[in-house]
Structure 1
Amino acid sequence: MWIAFTVLAAFMQAWRNAFQSQLSKDVNVAGVTLARFIWAGPIALVYLIGLYCWQPVSAPQFNGNLLMFVVGASLMQILATGLMVKLFKMKNFAVGAGLAKSEALVAAILGMLFFGTQLDLIGWIGVVIGGVAIMLLSTVQGIKQLSLKTVLLGLACGGAFALTSLWVREASLQLTLPYTHSAAWVLFAVISLQTLILTTYLWFYDKLTLQALFQRPKLTLLISVCSCIGSIGWFTAMSLQAVPYVKTLGQIEVFFMLLISHFWLKQQVKINDMLGLILIAIAAVLVMWN
């Protein structure tokens, strides 16, 4: 089941990233980040209610650790999304999203250091290959013209997403509910907090950005829908399996991104960019073998 949820998440996230890439041409980073959450909350609530109609269970018992993990994941995902939008503005969609996928490798390392996940030799080979891939994706005019700024931004984005995923899993494990229900509760809590934070900020400091979102209702709704369905997949998969395994399998998103970039966005992907994305996928498979 975790494999099916991960593939669903990767597919929906690829489309969400594509729509965010389009919106980032006209809306600033904070607005594009909010577009991910603004309509996702009601969808998550409907999903949660649907689960209880399908399988009634007891109400969750919240504790301090759960709240801490939810707050941490919420803030870190906002940061990660903002950094990813920055990547979209620096390079094309496929490459920007590919750099953000360093998340899987960072999650494997952090999981090993702080969450008890172990990597064998094959896993470490995957980490090295992934590092080479990030370097390829960060070059402007070949490997000799490596962009350190892009590398650091990509790694920061991946690291923020990795921490988000690790804390989401820890939050889900705090609830003694079926995995679908625990993931749905965490999803609803995280999205609600994120929407509240970003909407409040924009209402007081940048109302023009809020207006810009409502002037693009179709694109904003598409981003929220894809984001929510993708998050349902990620959160549920991570409630069943350790984050490094979920995120490395989720690298199948790389191929979805390439297809969307080429056939829908009509963007050209250079040879070294394609090689870098393929290496990321290979690294993911190797990490999965540990």
Structure 2
Amino acid sequence: MLWIPFTLMAAFTQALRNAQQKQLSVEVNAIGVTLARFIWALPLALLYLAVLHLILPAQLPTFTTRFIASISAAAVSQIIATTLMVMLFQRRSYAAGVGLAKSEALLAAMLGVVFFGVILGPVGWLGIAAGSLAIWLMKGKSQPGTLDITTLLLGLGSGLCFALTTLWVRDACHQLPLPFMHSAAWALVWSISIQVILLVSWLVWRDRATLQKLLQRPSLVFRISLTSSIASLCWFTAVNLEDVALVKTLGQIEVLFTLFLSRHWLKEQVSRRDKAGLLLILAGAVLVIWPSLPRG
């Protein structure tokens, strides 16, 4: 049951982070916005890890080749996923961009079953199906009577990379013989370190102007990093405790927070399709957590 509150906290902080990334994407390119979510997250993650080991002492882990390979793949996949989602924000509204990227739940379920030995019951699959239908309703519109293939591919690509990220993170966490909170914290530190090194190196080499733009918005960049680090820590902990497909399907409740922020903060309109999708997402979330609820 612990995975449920971690997932809900992850969904809320991720919605808040995405809204702030949408704001920054007006001024900064996709790579720069992607770096904004990681650059301050590294010292925050290191601080959390140190405090965690101080309060709840545990042995220092040995990092196997499989752990390094899995967390490195997760780090790169998360960079690609975030970049594609920011590109979605630049083409579509915040709510539509998040909605398309949330295709990750169904993709995570399919990849988990095929490659990671995950077994889902019928109720869990029903919840995933409901959430997937909701995402289709909330994908937004391009021109009347047409489908914007580029936007759809960006959304599915982002969802696929987010799904792969969480599957690799779960695999990496399970390589560490530590309590679940400690293994999630170590995985977070490793992944963010890799991401910061890769992104900063790329921008120093090819696009120093973007780094300068980030330095001009220190408050917004810090808030993005803070909410991102909290969201990632909660996601990593949740997927360490439960199957990725179930965590990500319950995590679709993020769209509830997305719609609220879209309407009341970013002043975007909420359509009937969005509202219908919201109801399906809530139904899917209930179906996913139903087997975990206490009986009697």
**TM-score normalised per structure 1:** 0.94
Deviates more, 1:187-196 or 1:101-110: 101-110
Give me the whole-angstrom Cα distance separating, in 1, the residues matched to 2:144 and 2:173: 41
1:85 aligns with 2:103: no
Instruction: Report if aligned partners of 1:135, 1:151 keep a CA contact under 8 Å in 2.
Output: no
Question: What residue is the counterpart of 1:266 in the other structure?
Answer: 267
Question: What residue is the counterpart of 1:174 in the other structure?
Answer: 175
Question: What residue is the counterpart of 2:198 in the other structure?
Answer: 197
Instruction: Report if aligned partners of 2:137, 2:277 keep a CA contact under 8 Å in 1.
Output: yes
Question: What residue is the counterpart of 1:97 in the other structure?
Answer: 98
Question: What residue is the counterpart of 2:294 in the other structure?
Answer: none
Give me the whole-angstrom Cα distance separating, in 2, the residues matched to 1:288 and 1:160: 24
Partner amino acid, structure 1, of 2:88: L
1:255 aligns with 2:244: no
Instruction: Note the aligned Cα RMSD (angstroms).
Output: 1.8
Q: 1:6 to 1:128 in 2, by over 3 A?
A: closer
Kindly state the Cα deviation for residue 265 of structure 1 after the two structures are TM-superposed. 1.2
What are the ranges of 5 or more consecutive residues in structure 1 without an aligned counterpart? none
| 1:102-161 CA distance string (max 9 Å, x none) | 111211111111112223444444444444333333342688433333222211111100
Kindly state the Cα deviation for residue 67 of structure 1 after the two structures are TM-superposed. 0.4
Q: 1:252 to 1:138 in 2, by over 3 A?
A: closer
Deviates more, 1:174-183 or 1:132-141: 132-141
Partner amino acid, structure 1, of 2:227: C
Instruction: Report if aligned partners of 1:138, 1:150 keep a CA contact under 8 Å in 2.
Output: no
| 1:239-262 CA distance string (max 9 Å, x none) | 111111211111121111111111
Q: 1:110 to 1:264 in 2, by over 3 A?
A: same
Question: What residue is the counterpart of 1:106 in the other structure?
Answer: 107
Give me the whole-angstrom Cα distance separating, in 2, the residues matched to 1:113 and 1:66: 21
Question: What residue is the counterpart of 1:161 in the other structure?
Answer: 162
Give me the whole-angstrom Cα distance separating, in 1, the residues matched to 2:146 and 2:282: 24
Question: What residue is the counterpart of 1:238 in the other structure?
Answer: 239
Please show how residues 1-290 of structure 1 align to structure 2 within 5 Å. 1-140=2-141, 144-288=145-289
Tell me the SS of whatever aligns to 2:165: helix
Deviates more, 1:263-272 or 1:130-139: 130-139
What are the ranges of 5 or more consecutive residues in structure 2 without an aligned counterpart? 292-296
Give me the whole-angstrom Cα distance separating, in 2, the residues matched to 1:64 and 1:277: 42
Q: 1:143 to 1:102 in 2, by over 3 A?
A: farther
Q: 1:286 to 1:146 in 2, by over 3 A?
A: farther
Tell me the SS of whatever aligns to 1:145: coil
